[in-house]
């Protein structure tokens, strides 16, 4: 698969304006699913705040020669496009870049096509970009694992003995993954707030978020075969923002001995835009130095991280936003390649449209922790909001917003945001 190492050069500018500071210049070309004006949902990309309809471009013949069937551009998920694999998706992104380049008149000067294919973002509804088959959540931030371990076991025993040897993970629930902007109800469940008393049932009082990113896979190998470190990125379509909502009181009572269950699967929020690894390539950087060399199947070249600034904010019911955390994807101890190599080393097959999430991404400093559990240190240090109110965990009517972007040498590539409001329990 060595031909997959050559990443196409994207145009310098587009005839569609991207406002200063936009996450979506023509060098990005993310993929999503949208609908507009009561029409059906199908694949799109965007430049600035303009959504570009791929179905219309395909119908106009501008996406011919890519070995993609017309119906793949009419689907309401990206899965049919992604089934073509990395080489074809790369060519599609390259073609879109060419069509949107400032100097290319084909699309630019076709007023009728522009009218049919371009939509202002505010007139669009964004849908779940991918039909997620299987969802796996890792636990790959050393800072997060250390913080949580310290709270429950003390700093000496914070990291479990396996943690520095393998990317710890669990299988999550795909059915309750919702697209950014979808409100969720506060979950109810069984909890044991006072260890000396019997458990109780009710609405969670310790509702939390987890700042994460995820990656979406192409079709992997047949059952029984592994994906190596060297091959791993060939099977990764792109990255998304992800909020792994967590009810801490339900979680802490139920998780022994098999791990997260109802404290997690009431809902997880996925960003609407899949940003390709190709778009992120200029921001590739070293991951943290391992404490000791991992087993051979997890050894890479050490440059599998990406410098992605991540910001988390809470908007209170009155509409007042407070930034509560600034972290970065590059802090993760285990890379996406290591996660995928580990996931498949036993022969487990991944499929087109699987979601592998990073785990909570906490920065080394307290201003960059990736959950309320850590930011408020289990509720002992309430956070001050800009409107004067305090938060230990998430209140009804709060909206949690996560944003992510890379910036270097004047180029900014980002993900937009993943947001979700918490409604009262039903």
Q: Evaluate the CA torsion angle 315, 320, 326, 328 in order and state its sign.
A: positive
Closest CA to 146 of 129, 168, 170, 125: 168
Q: How far is the CB of 323 from Ca ion (least distance, A)?
A: 21
30 vs 260, which CB is nearer to Ca ion? 260
Q: How far is the CB of 83 from Ca ion (least distance, A)?
A: 28
72 vs 244, which CB is nearer to Ca ion? 244
Q: Segment contacting Ca ion (CB under 5 A): 130-138, 178-186, 289-297, 300-308?
A: 130-138
* DSSP line for 380-411: TSPEEPTTS-EESSPPTT-EEEEEEEEEETTE
Q: How far is the CB of 62 from Ca ion (least distance, A)?
A: 40
Phi, psi of 293, rounded to the nearest 5 degrees: -65, 130
141 vs 376, which CB is nearer to Ca ion? 141
Distance CA 267, CA 174 (A): 9
Distance CA 426, CA 43 (A): 34
Distance CA 8, CA 98 (A): 11
350 vs 361, which CB is nearer to Ca ion? 361
Give how far the C-alpha of residue 251 lies from the chain's centroid of Cα atoms, to the nearest Å.
22
Q: Segment contacting Ca ion (CB under 5 A): 24-32, 98-106, 132-140, 281-289?
A: 132-140
Q: How far is the CB of 305 from Ca ion (least distance, A)?
A: 19
Distance CA 177, CA 224 (A): 28
Q: Segment contacting Ca ion (CB under 5 A): 98-106, 136-144, 213-221, 291-299?
A: 136-144
Query: If residue 412 lies in a helix (H) or strand (E), which one and from where to where?
Result: strand 411-423
Find out whether 424 and 401 touch, Cβ atoms under 8 Å.
no
Q: How far is the CB of 419 from Ca ion (least distance, A)?
A: 18
Query: If residue 44 lies in a helix (H) or strand (E), which one and from where to where?
Result: strand 42-47
Reported as half-sphere exposure (CB side, CA atoms, 13 A), residue 282 has a value of 17
53 vs 137, which CB is nearer to Ca ion? 137
Distance CA 244, CA 172 (A): 10
DSSP 278: H
Give how far the C-alpha of residue 193 lies from the chain's centroid of Cα atoms, to the nearest Å.
32
Q: How far is the CB of 54 from Ca ion (least distance, A)?
A: 32
137 vs 398, which CB is nearer to Ca ion? 137
Distance CA 26, CA 10 (A): 7
Member of 137, 208, 278, 354 binding Ca ion (CB under 5 A): 137
Residue number with the smallest Cβ distance to Ca ion: 244
80-98: string of b/e by CB count within 10 Å (b at 16+)? bbbbbbbebbbbbbbbbbb
Q: How far is the CB of 333 from Ca ion (least distance, A)?
A: 15
Give how far the C-alpha of residue 88 lies from the chain's centroid of Cα atoms, to the nearest Å.
22
Catalytic residues: 144
Does 398 bind Ca ion (CB under 5 A)? Our answer is no
Window 58-87: residues binding Ca ion (CB under 5 A): none
Does 208 bind Ca ion (CB under 5 A)? Our answer is no
Q: How far is the CB of 108 from Ca ion (least distance, A)?
A: 44
Q: Segment contacting Ca ion (CB under 5 A): 84-92, 188-196, 238-246, 303-311?
A: 238-246
28 vs 243, which CB is nearer to Ca ion? 243
Member of 134, 210, 234, 249 binding Ca ion (CB under 5 A): 210
210 vs 249, which CB is nearer to Ca ion? 210
Coil, strand or helix at 299: coil
Window 241-300: residues binding Ca ion (CB under 5 A): 244
Q: Segment contacting Ca ion (CB under 5 A): 129-137, 249-257, 268-276, 291-299?
A: 129-137
Mode of pairing for the β-strands spanning 177-179 and 268-270: parallel
Total site size for Ca ion, rule CB under 5 A: 3
Enumerate binding residues for Ca ion (CB under 5 A): 137, 210, 244
């Amino acid at each position: 698969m060595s031909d997959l190492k050559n990443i196409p050069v994207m145009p310098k500018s587009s005839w569609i304006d991207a406002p200063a500071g936009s996450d979506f210049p023509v060098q990005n070309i993310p993929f999503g699913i949208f609908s507009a004006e009561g029409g059906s949902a199908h694949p799109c990309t965007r430049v600035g705040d303009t959504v570009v309809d791929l179905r219309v471009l395909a119908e106009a013949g501008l996406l011919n020669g890519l070995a993609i069937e017309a119906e793949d551009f009419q689907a309401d998920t990206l899965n049919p496009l992604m089934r073509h694999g990395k080489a074809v998706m790369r060519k599609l992104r390259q073609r879109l870049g060419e069509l949107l380049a400032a100097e290319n008149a084909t699309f630019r000067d076709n007023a009728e096509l522009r009218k049919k294919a371009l939509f202002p973002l505010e007139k669009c509804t964004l849908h779940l970009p991918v039909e997620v088959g299987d969802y796996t959540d890792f636990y790959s931030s050393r800072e997060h694992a250390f913080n949580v371990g310290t709270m429950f076991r003390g700093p000496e025993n914070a990291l479990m003995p396996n943690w520095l040897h393998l990317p710890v993970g669990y299988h999550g629930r795909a059915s309750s993954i919702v697209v950014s902007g979808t409100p969720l109800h506060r979950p109810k469940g069984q909890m044991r707030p006072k260890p000396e008393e019997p458990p109780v049932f009710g609405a969670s009082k310790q509702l939390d978020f987890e700042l994460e990113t995820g990656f979406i896979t192409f079709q992997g190998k047949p059952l029984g075969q592994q994906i190596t470190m060297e091959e791993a990125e060939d099977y990764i379509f792109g990255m998304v923002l992800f909020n792994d909502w967590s009810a801490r009181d339900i979680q802490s009572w139920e998780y022994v001995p098999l791990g997260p269950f109802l404290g997690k699967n009431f809902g997880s929020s996925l960003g609407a835009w899949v940003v390709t690894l190709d778009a992120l390539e200029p921001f590739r950087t070293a991951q943290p130095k391992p404490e000791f060399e991992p087993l051979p199947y997890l050894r890479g070249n050490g440059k599998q991280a990406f410098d992605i600034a991540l910001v988390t904010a809470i908007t209170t019911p009155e509409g007042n936003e407070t930034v509560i955390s600034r972290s970065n994807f590059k802090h993760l101890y285990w890379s996406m390649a290591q996660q995928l190599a580990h996931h498949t080393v036993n022969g487990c097959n991944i499929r087109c449209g699987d979601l592998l999430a990073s785990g909570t991404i906490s920065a080394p400093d307290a201003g960059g922790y990736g959950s309320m559990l850590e930011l408020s240190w289990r509720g002992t240090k309430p956070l001050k909001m800009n409107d004067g109110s305090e938060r230990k965990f998430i209140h009804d009517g709060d909206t949690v917003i996560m944003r992510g972007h890379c910036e270097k040498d004047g180029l900014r590539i980002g993900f937009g945001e993943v947001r979700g409001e918490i409604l009262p329990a039903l």
